[in-house]
Amino acid sequence: MEHFDLALVDWSRAQFALTALYHWIFVPLTLGLSFIVAFMHTIYYKTRDEEWKIMTRFWMKLFGINFAIGVATGIILEFEFGLNWSNYSWIVGDIFGAPLAIEGILAFFLESSFIAIMFFGWDRVSKKFHMLSSWFVAIGSNLSALWILIANAWMQNPTGTAFNADTARNEMVNFFDIALSPTAVFKFLHTVSQSYVIGALFVISISAWFILKNRHLLFARKSIIIASVFGLLASVFVSITGDSSSFNIAHTQPMKLAAMEALYDGEESADLYVVGLLNKNKDNTNFKGIKIPGMLSIMAFRNADAFVPGVNDILNGNEEQGILSAESRIEKGKIAIKALADYKQARKEGNDELADQKLKEFETNYSHFGYGFFKDKEEIVPNVPLTFYSFHIMVALGLFFILLFAWLLYVSLKDRLVKNKLLLIISLWSLLLGYIATELGWIVAEVGRQPWTIQDLLPVTASTSHLSVGSVQTTFFMFFALFSVLLIAEIKILITQIKKGPEKGGSHV
């Protein structure tokens, strides 16, 4: 068994997590704000009302600032696959590289082609074509997210591929099985709808600040109405896609679901904890919280009486439920790893009969292949407290956003918004809560599937490059400094533009 440098693995994971979390500060705002700008641009095109033109230009300017900085972090993120995770990239390059290539050729090309027209096409191209350019940028941005999320979804639920024993690489068998898998569909819909919530909160937060400062009142009220409608629809859709994602996770990543609910011993008619505090013991006893009876079984299997496996069931097995123990899977995984090595040796020696025998042995145990890299079954358990609390805080904030958007829309339509200082203050700070929720979503998705790079097939310990720990540590702190500077620069530039407010010519009452 190959020796893995756990310090290298931990620092490689830390660097990728750092880059991903920083990158995700910029991406959701790009995805959400792009469509809000396109909606406003369309209203201006239809009405020719200069107030809508001013609104479009203002939010477009803020979109552009965020877009430029987000691209820089995204490029670094993709480079890390080859630099820090070369073993992973070698094994899955044929699959993982395809959606990323499509993202660059199709989506990013569409986005970058029209962004210049969107920003500089005022009075230089026809009003209709200029308005359409805003939509092309929004669609291009979201198509970029689509292909990246398809790649990520395949890591969560590898499908549509086959392992080539001769090259030791996964190869694509059916592109549509990868692109249209339920995991990919639900992940894309849930992630982009979360991003639309961020875009709406961004507009609402800044508009609330204008109203509190008694500036650009008409501009701010109109912006809040647009963002409230957009955000309410998006936040409701987030809850729907979140439920679908949980259903998918129950079938493809049962350990993640168990961690999300801190379910250690599986149950029939399992309860869903709305609010809860974990106990120190790894069991379900003395669990404090508010629960909905049978709801976890309904969420996971659409059956109130269904059995939901817990952490201990997955570790120790449950013969009654047909769950193989982790120890058995580790043993079968080791058989698969040895059979693969023996197959290669037999092929090298020209022993075709032995090679065929070992290949069959490998294929029989391939579904357990990744488990063969572990020594202790406890290694397959993710960080349960972090996953549990991240999931529940995210869900609570999601419900809060639905109420906030509905409240804002009602008060705005009743023309009571300017007088409602409490709601305006809540709205001002809601953007921070939005970012907390969306970052927690990624923590649930990525921490919850640990220790896997590819679910059940490749653990993170076997995915890294052969680098020195010191080199990864050095680049970690370099990236931390760089990303922090970029984030501070964006915030300062945004604040400067926000303080300037919309360009003159609109309502400044």
Neighbouring-strand partners of residue 458: 454
- Residue the block writes with tokens 């430029």: 68
- Looking at the chain, the whole-number percentage of residues with pLDDT higher than 70 is 96
Compute the average pLDDT of residues 190-213. 96
Compute CA distances 403 → 57, 225, 292, 400, 430, whole Å: 29, 15, 21, 5, 12
Q: Which amino acid is at 16?
A: F
Compute the average pLDDT of residues 178-192. 94
Residue 300 has pLDDT above 80, yes or no: yes
| Tens-digit pLDDT profile for residues 476-497 | 999 999 999 989 999 999 999 9
> What was the pLDDT predicted at 168?
86
More confident residue, 211 or 97: 211
Compute the average pLDDT of residues 51-77. 88
The residue among 14, 19, 5, 2 whose CA lies nearest residue 486 is 19
At residue 161, the 3 state secondary structure works out as: strand
> What was the pLDDT predicted at 226?
96
pTM of the model: 0.91
Neighbouring-strand partners of residue 267: 308
More confident residue, 299 or 281: 299
Residue 507 has pLDDT above 70, yes or no: no
- C-alpha 362/C-alpha 130 separation (Å) is 58
> What was the pLDDT predicted at 97?
79
At residue 415, the 3 state secondary structure works out as: coil
> What was the pLDDT predicted at 281?
63
More confident residue, 509 or 176: 176
Sequence-distant (6+) residues with CB within 8 A of 390 are 440, 441, 443, 444, 447
> What was the pLDDT predicted at 288?
63
Residue 509 has pLDDT above 60, yes or no: no
- Looking at the chain, the whole-number percentage of residues with pLDDT higher than 90 is 74
Residue 202 has pLDDT above 90, yes or no: yes
The one-character DSSP state at 454 is: E
Compute the average pLDDT of residues 79-107. 81
> What was the pLDDT predicted at 89?
86
508 confidence band (pLDDT: 50, 70, 90): very low
> What was the pLDDT predicted at 78?
75
> What was the pLDDT predicted at 424?
96
Compute the average pLDDT of residues 327-345. 95
182 confidence band (pLDDT: 50, 70, 90): very high
3 confidence band (pLDDT: 50, 70, 90): low
> What was the pLDDT predicted at 412?
94
Residue 123 has pLDDT above 90, yes or no: no
Neighbouring-strand partners of residue 161: 172
> What was the pLDDT predicted at 504?
65
| Tens-digit pLDDT profile for residues 427-473 | 999 999 999 999 999 999 999 999 999 999 999 999 988 888 999 99
| Tens-digit pLDDT profile for residues 363-393 | 999 999 999 999 999 999 999 999 999 999 9
Neighbouring-strand partners of residue 323: 318
Residue 212 has pLDDT above 90, yes or no: yes
Please tell me the number of Cα atoms within 13 Å of 115 on its side-chain side.
Answer: 19
Contact 426, 224 (CB under 8 A): no
106 confidence band (pLDDT: 50, 70, 90): confident
Sequence-distant (6+) residues with CB within 8 A of 211 are 217, 220, 221, 417, 418, 424
Contact 91, 165 (CB under 8 A): no
| Tens-digit pLDDT profile for residues 395-421 | 999 999 999 999 999 999 998 999 899
> What was the pLDDT predicted at 506?
41
Compute the average pLDDT of residues 146-168. 91
505 confidence band (pLDDT: 50, 70, 90): very low
> What was the pLDDT predicted at 68?
81
